[in-house]
Structure 1
Amino acid sequence: MKAKRALQYIDKFESYVCQALLSFFVVILFLQIALRICFDYVLPWSEEISRFSFVWFVFFGAAYAARLAAHNRVTIQFKLFPPLVGNICMFITDIIWIGFNLVMIQKSVEVIIDLMEFPYISPSLGWSMAYVYWIFPISFSLMTIRIIQVNIMKYWLKIEIKDVDKIDPDDIQPLTESR
Protein backbone atom coordinates (compact mmCIF):
# COMPACT_ATOMS: atom_id res chain seq x y z
CA MET A 1 0.00 0.00 0.00
CA LYS A 2 2.81 2.44 0.88
CA ALA A 3 4.69 1.52 -2.29
CA LYS A 4 1.60 2.18 -4.40
CA ARG A 5 1.08 5.56 -2.76
CA ALA A 6 4.76 6.43 -3.27
CA LEU A 7 4.44 5.54 -6.96
CA GLN A 8 1.37 7.77 -7.23
CA TYR A 9 3.34 10.70 -5.81
CA ILE A 10 6.27 10.04 -8.15
CA ASP A 11 3.87 9.70 -11.06
CA LYS A 12 2.44 13.13 -10.28
CA PHE A 13 5.84 14.80 -9.71
CA GLU A 14 5.34 17.39 -12.43
CA SER A 15 1.89 18.23 -11.08
CA TYR A 16 3.29 18.98 -7.63
CA VAL A 17 6.12 21.08 -9.06
CA CYS A 18 3.61 22.97 -11.23
CA GLN A 19 1.35 23.62 -8.25
CA ALA A 20 4.27 24.94 -6.20
CA LEU A 21 5.56 27.16 -9.01
CA LEU A 22 2.10 28.51 -9.82
CA SER A 23 1.45 29.31 -6.16
CA PHE A 24 4.88 30.91 -5.84
CA PHE A 25 4.59 33.27 -8.78
CA VAL A 26 0.98 34.21 -8.00
CA VAL A 27 1.96 35.10 -4.43
CA ILE A 28 4.99 37.08 -5.64
CA LEU A 29 2.89 38.99 -8.19
CA PHE A 30 0.17 39.66 -5.60
CA LEU A 31 2.80 40.89 -3.15
CA GLN A 32 4.32 43.13 -5.83
CA ILE A 33 0.92 44.65 -6.71
CA ALA A 34 -0.12 45.08 -3.06
CA LEU A 35 3.17 46.76 -2.13
CA ARG A 36 3.01 49.03 -5.16
CA ILE A 37 -0.59 50.11 -4.58
CA CYS A 38 -0.61 50.30 -0.78
CA PHE A 39 2.91 51.48 0.02
CA ASP A 40 4.21 52.85 -3.28
CA TYR A 41 7.09 50.38 -2.97
CA VAL A 42 8.42 48.08 -5.70
CA LEU A 43 10.36 44.89 -5.14
CA PRO A 44 13.01 45.10 -7.86
CA TRP A 45 13.46 41.34 -8.14
CA SER A 46 9.79 40.28 -8.05
CA GLU A 47 9.06 40.63 -11.77
CA GLU A 48 12.16 38.69 -12.76
CA ILE A 49 11.66 35.79 -10.34
CA SER A 50 7.97 35.53 -11.22
CA ARG A 51 8.90 35.40 -14.92
CA PHE A 52 11.47 32.64 -14.29
CA SER A 53 9.02 30.64 -12.18
CA PHE A 54 6.34 31.06 -14.85
CA VAL A 55 8.68 29.69 -17.54
CA TRP A 56 9.57 26.74 -15.29
CA PHE A 57 5.84 26.24 -14.60
CA VAL A 58 5.06 26.10 -18.33
CA PHE A 59 7.79 23.57 -19.10
CA PHE A 60 6.98 21.31 -16.14
CA GLY A 61 3.33 21.60 -17.21
CA ALA A 62 4.31 20.37 -20.67
CA ALA A 63 5.93 17.29 -19.11
CA TYR A 64 2.82 16.73 -17.00
CA ALA A 65 0.61 17.04 -20.09
CA ALA A 66 2.77 14.41 -21.80
CA ARG A 67 2.11 12.05 -18.86
CA LEU A 68 -1.64 12.62 -19.24
CA ALA A 69 -1.41 12.23 -23.03
CA ALA A 70 -3.01 15.67 -23.11
CA HIS A 71 -0.71 17.65 -25.36
CA ASN A 72 -2.38 19.81 -27.96
CA ARG A 73 -1.92 17.99 -31.23
CA VAL A 74 -4.05 17.22 -34.21
CA THR A 75 -5.30 13.65 -33.97
CA ILE A 76 -8.59 13.78 -35.85
CA GLN A 77 -6.95 12.38 -38.99
CA PHE A 78 -5.88 9.26 -37.06
CA LYS A 79 -9.48 8.60 -36.04
CA LEU A 80 -10.44 8.36 -39.71
CA PHE A 81 -8.18 5.33 -40.12
CA PRO A 82 -8.88 1.83 -38.85
CA PRO A 83 -7.74 1.57 -35.19
CA LEU A 84 -4.53 -0.35 -36.02
CA VAL A 85 -3.42 2.17 -38.65
CA GLY A 86 -4.34 5.09 -36.37
CA ASN A 87 -2.31 3.60 -33.52
CA ILE A 88 0.70 3.03 -35.79
CA CYS A 89 0.49 6.63 -37.01
CA MET A 90 0.24 7.93 -33.42
CA PHE A 91 3.24 5.79 -32.45
CA ILE A 92 5.26 7.17 -35.39
CA THR A 93 4.39 10.75 -34.40
CA ASP A 94 5.48 9.98 -30.84
CA ILE A 95 8.81 8.68 -32.18
CA ILE A 96 9.23 11.93 -34.13
CA TRP A 97 8.32 13.88 -30.97
CA ILE A 98 10.94 11.97 -28.98
CA GLY A 99 13.50 12.75 -31.70
CA PHE A 100 12.62 16.45 -31.43
CA ASN A 101 12.97 16.28 -27.64
CA LEU A 102 16.41 14.67 -27.93
CA VAL A 103 17.57 17.45 -30.26
CA MET A 104 16.21 20.06 -27.82
CA ILE A 105 18.02 18.38 -24.92
CA GLN A 106 21.30 18.38 -26.83
CA LYS A 107 20.96 21.98 -28.02
CA SER A 108 19.87 23.30 -24.63
CA VAL A 109 22.82 21.63 -22.92
CA GLU A 110 25.09 23.27 -25.51
CA VAL A 111 23.55 26.66 -24.67
CA ILE A 112 24.01 26.02 -20.94
CA ILE A 113 27.67 25.10 -21.49
CA ASP A 114 28.14 28.33 -23.45
CA LEU A 115 26.42 30.31 -20.69
CA MET A 116 28.79 28.80 -18.13
CA GLU A 117 31.80 29.69 -20.25
CA PHE A 118 30.48 33.16 -21.13
CA PRO A 119 28.17 34.02 -18.22
CA TYR A 120 25.04 36.05 -18.67
CA ILE A 121 23.71 37.34 -15.36
CA SER A 122 20.08 38.26 -14.75
CA PRO A 123 19.80 41.98 -14.00
CA SER A 124 17.78 42.00 -10.76
CA LEU A 125 18.62 38.71 -9.08
CA GLY A 126 22.21 38.41 -10.24
CA TRP A 127 21.68 34.75 -11.16
CA SER A 128 23.59 33.04 -13.92
CA MET A 129 21.13 32.37 -16.71
CA ALA A 130 22.77 28.96 -17.15
CA TYR A 131 20.89 27.83 -14.02
CA VAL A 132 17.60 29.27 -15.23
CA TYR A 133 18.02 27.54 -18.62
CA TRP A 134 18.34 24.12 -16.97
CA ILE A 135 14.56 23.86 -17.29
CA PHE A 136 14.96 23.02 -20.98
CA PRO A 137 16.95 19.77 -20.71
CA ILE A 138 15.02 18.83 -17.55
CA SER A 139 11.58 19.31 -19.09
CA PHE A 140 12.39 17.76 -22.47
CA SER A 141 13.94 14.76 -20.68
CA LEU A 142 10.84 14.39 -18.51
CA MET A 143 8.62 14.73 -21.58
CA THR A 144 10.58 12.00 -23.34
CA ILE A 145 10.27 9.70 -20.34
CA ARG A 146 6.55 10.41 -20.09
CA ILE A 147 5.95 9.80 -23.82
CA ILE A 148 7.70 6.44 -23.51
CA GLN A 149 5.73 5.67 -20.34
CA VAL A 150 2.39 6.45 -22.00
CA ASN A 151 3.27 4.33 -25.04
CA ILE A 152 4.27 1.39 -22.82
CA MET A 153 1.02 1.75 -20.90
CA LYS A 154 -1.03 2.03 -24.10
CA TYR A 155 0.59 -0.55 -26.38
CA TRP A 156 2.39 -3.01 -24.13
CA LEU A 157 0.34 -3.06 -20.91
CA LYS A 158 -2.92 -2.39 -22.82
CA ILE A 159 -4.02 0.28 -20.33
CA GLU A 160 -6.61 2.61 -21.79
CA ILE A 161 -5.48 6.22 -21.69
CA LYS A 162 -8.59 8.34 -21.28
CA ASP A 163 -8.96 11.53 -23.25
CA VAL A 164 -8.63 14.30 -20.65
CA ASP A 165 -11.05 16.45 -22.60
CA LYS A 166 -13.77 13.83 -22.20
CA ILE A 167 -13.30 13.07 -18.50
CA ASP A 168 -16.11 14.26 -16.25
CA PRO A 169 -14.59 16.33 -13.41
CA ASP A 170 -16.83 14.46 -10.96
CA ASP A 171 -15.08 11.21 -11.92
CA ILE A 172 -11.63 12.46 -10.89
CA GLN A 173 -10.55 10.74 -7.71
CA PRO A 174 -8.65 12.60 -5.02
CA LEU A 175 -5.04 11.57 -4.56
CA THR A 176 -5.76 10.16 -1.11
CA GLU A 177 -8.00 7.44 -2.52
CA SER A 178 -6.28 4.36 -3.84
CA ARG A 179 -6.85 3.64 -7.50
Structure 2
Amino acid sequence: MEIRTARLLLRRAVPTDVRAFHTIMSSPAAMRYWATLPHESMAVTETWFEQQFFSGDPVRDEWVIEHDGRVVGNIGIWNMPEFGFILHPDVWGRGIGSEAARAFIDYAFATYAIDAITADVDPRNEASLNLLTKLGFTETSRAEKTFLIGGIWYDSIYLSLPRPA
Protein backbone atom coordinates (compact mmCIF):
# COMPACT_ATOMS: atom_id res chain seq x y z
CA MET A 1 0.00 0.00 0.00
CA GLU A 2 1.14 3.54 -0.75
CA ILE A 3 -0.15 6.99 0.06
CA ARG A 4 0.61 9.70 -2.49
CA THR A 5 0.39 13.44 -1.99
CA ALA A 6 1.32 16.29 -4.33
CA ARG A 7 5.03 15.91 -3.53
CA LEU A 8 5.41 12.82 -1.38
CA LEU A 9 5.17 9.07 -1.36
CA LEU A 10 4.39 7.39 1.94
CA ARG A 11 5.19 3.71 1.69
CA ARG A 12 6.19 0.65 3.67
CA ALA A 13 9.88 0.22 4.43
CA VAL A 14 12.15 -2.12 2.52
CA PRO A 15 15.46 -3.45 3.92
CA THR A 16 17.58 -1.15 1.74
CA ASP A 17 16.04 1.91 3.44
CA VAL A 18 18.19 1.32 6.52
CA ARG A 19 21.11 3.36 5.14
CA ALA A 20 18.93 6.43 4.57
CA PHE A 21 17.55 6.07 8.07
CA HIS A 22 21.03 5.83 9.53
CA THR A 23 21.76 9.25 8.00
CA ILE A 24 18.69 10.65 9.77
CA MET A 25 19.02 8.77 13.06
CA SER A 26 22.72 9.58 13.45
CA SER A 27 22.14 13.32 12.87
CA PRO A 28 22.39 15.35 16.10
CA ALA A 29 20.05 17.95 14.56
CA ALA A 30 17.38 15.41 13.60
CA MET A 31 17.64 13.66 16.97
CA ARG A 32 17.70 16.81 19.11
CA TYR A 33 14.19 16.21 20.50
CA TRP A 34 13.95 12.45 19.90
CA ALA A 35 13.53 9.95 22.73
CA THR A 36 17.05 8.56 22.29
CA LEU A 37 20.53 9.85 21.58
CA PRO A 38 21.74 9.98 17.95
CA HIS A 39 22.67 6.53 16.70
CA GLU A 40 26.40 5.98 17.05
CA SER A 41 26.61 3.04 14.65
CA MET A 42 24.82 1.34 11.80
CA ALA A 43 24.16 -1.59 14.17
CA VAL A 44 22.08 0.69 16.43
CA THR A 45 20.10 1.91 13.41
CA GLU A 46 19.62 -1.65 12.13
CA THR A 47 18.11 -2.69 15.47
CA TRP A 48 15.85 0.39 15.56
CA PHE A 49 14.87 -0.11 11.90
CA GLU A 50 13.86 -3.74 12.47
CA GLN A 51 11.74 -2.85 15.50
CA GLN A 52 10.25 0.23 13.86
CA PHE A 53 9.18 -1.31 10.59
CA PHE A 54 9.23 -5.11 10.78
CA SER A 55 8.19 -6.09 14.32
CA GLY A 56 4.66 -7.09 13.31
CA ASP A 57 3.44 -5.37 16.47
CA PRO A 58 -0.27 -4.49 16.06
CA VAL A 59 0.15 -1.21 17.98
CA ARG A 60 2.58 0.06 15.30
CA ASP A 61 1.86 1.40 11.84
CA GLU A 62 5.01 3.00 10.47
CA TRP A 63 5.63 4.52 7.04
CA VAL A 64 8.62 5.81 5.09
CA ILE A 65 8.39 9.34 3.67
CA GLU A 66 9.92 9.80 0.21
CA HIS A 67 10.44 13.13 -1.54
CA ASP A 68 11.81 13.23 -5.09
CA GLY A 69 12.69 9.53 -4.83
CA ARG A 70 14.73 10.01 -1.64
CA VAL A 71 13.89 8.70 1.83
CA VAL A 72 13.54 11.82 3.99
CA GLY A 73 11.75 10.54 7.08
CA ASN A 74 9.41 8.31 8.99
CA ILE A 75 5.82 8.90 10.08
CA GLY A 76 3.32 6.73 11.83
CA ILE A 77 1.79 5.39 14.97
CA TRP A 78 4.31 3.68 17.19
CA ASN A 79 2.03 2.90 20.13
CA MET A 80 -1.64 3.08 19.12
CA PRO A 81 -2.87 5.84 18.98
CA GLU A 82 0.39 7.81 19.55
CA PHE A 83 1.59 9.55 16.42
CA GLY A 84 5.08 10.69 15.59
CA PHE A 85 7.46 11.62 12.81
CA ILE A 86 11.07 12.45 12.11
CA LEU A 87 12.50 14.22 9.08
CA HIS A 88 15.96 14.69 7.65
CA PRO A 89 17.09 18.26 8.47
CA ASP A 90 17.62 18.92 4.73
CA VAL A 91 13.84 19.06 4.24
CA TRP A 92 12.86 21.07 7.32
CA GLY A 93 10.82 24.21 6.71
CA ARG A 94 9.47 23.09 3.34
CA GLY A 95 6.02 21.83 4.38
CA ILE A 96 7.01 18.16 4.03
CA GLY A 97 6.02 17.36 7.62
CA SER A 98 2.61 19.00 7.26
CA GLU A 99 1.93 17.30 3.93
CA ALA A 100 2.95 13.87 5.21
CA ALA A 101 1.06 14.31 8.49
CA ARG A 102 -2.21 15.33 6.82
CA ALA A 103 -2.06 12.28 4.55
CA PHE A 104 -1.16 9.91 7.36
CA ILE A 105 -3.81 11.27 9.73
CA ASP A 106 -6.52 10.84 7.08
CA TYR A 107 -5.33 7.26 6.55
CA ALA A 108 -5.18 6.51 10.30
CA PHE A 109 -8.72 7.70 11.01
CA ALA A 110 -10.02 5.80 7.97
CA THR A 111 -8.20 2.62 9.04
CA TYR A 112 -8.47 2.46 12.83
CA ALA A 113 -11.44 2.75 15.20
CA ILE A 114 -9.70 5.29 17.41
CA ASP A 115 -11.34 8.29 19.03
CA ALA A 116 -8.23 10.45 18.74
CA ILE A 117 -4.60 10.51 17.67
CA THR A 118 -2.18 11.57 20.38
CA ALA A 119 1.34 12.98 20.46
CA ASP A 120 4.09 13.38 23.06
CA VAL A 121 6.40 16.31 22.28
CA ASP A 122 9.44 17.79 23.98
CA PRO A 123 8.37 21.33 25.03
CA ARG A 124 11.51 22.76 23.41
CA ASN A 125 10.46 21.42 20.00
CA GLU A 126 8.61 24.51 18.80
CA ALA A 127 8.56 23.40 15.14
CA SER A 128 6.72 20.15 15.93
CA LEU A 129 4.38 21.86 18.36
CA ASN A 130 3.52 24.49 15.73
CA LEU A 131 2.97 21.82 13.06
CA LEU A 132 0.69 19.77 15.33
CA THR A 133 -1.27 22.86 16.36
CA LYS A 134 -1.72 23.77 12.69
CA LEU A 135 -3.10 20.25 12.12
CA GLY A 136 -5.67 20.73 14.89
CA PHE A 137 -3.95 19.02 17.83
CA THR A 138 -4.56 20.61 21.22
CA GLU A 139 -2.59 20.30 24.42
CA THR A 140 -4.12 17.93 26.97
CA SER A 141 -1.44 17.92 29.67
CA ARG A 142 2.23 18.27 30.58
CA ALA A 143 4.60 16.11 32.57
CA GLU A 144 8.09 16.59 33.93
CA LYS A 145 10.99 14.14 33.66
CA THR A 146 9.36 11.75 31.21
CA PHE A 147 12.49 10.81 29.23
CA LEU A 148 15.98 10.17 30.57
CA ILE A 149 18.32 10.65 27.62
CA GLY A 150 22.08 10.72 28.00
CA GLY A 151 21.75 11.26 31.74
CA ILE A 152 19.46 14.30 31.37
CA TRP A 153 15.73 14.36 32.13
CA TYR A 154 13.36 15.88 29.57
CA ASP A 155 9.71 16.86 29.85
CA SER A 156 6.65 16.17 27.69
CA ILE A 157 3.68 18.04 26.32
CA TYR A 158 0.80 15.72 25.45
CA LEU A 159 -1.53 16.63 22.61
CA SER A 160 -4.60 15.09 21.04
CA LEU A 161 -6.47 15.32 17.73
CA PRO A 162 -10.04 14.03 18.00
CA ARG A 163 -11.58 11.98 15.21
CA PRO A 164 -13.31 14.31 12.75
CA ALA A 165 -17.09 14.44 13.12
Output the TM-score relative to the length of structure 1: 0.22
Which structure ranks higher in relative contact order (CA pairs < 8 Å, sequence separation ≥ 6)? 1
Mark the structure with the bigger radius of gyration. 1
Whose strand proportion is higher, 1 or 2?
2
Whose helix proportion is higher, 1 or 2?
1
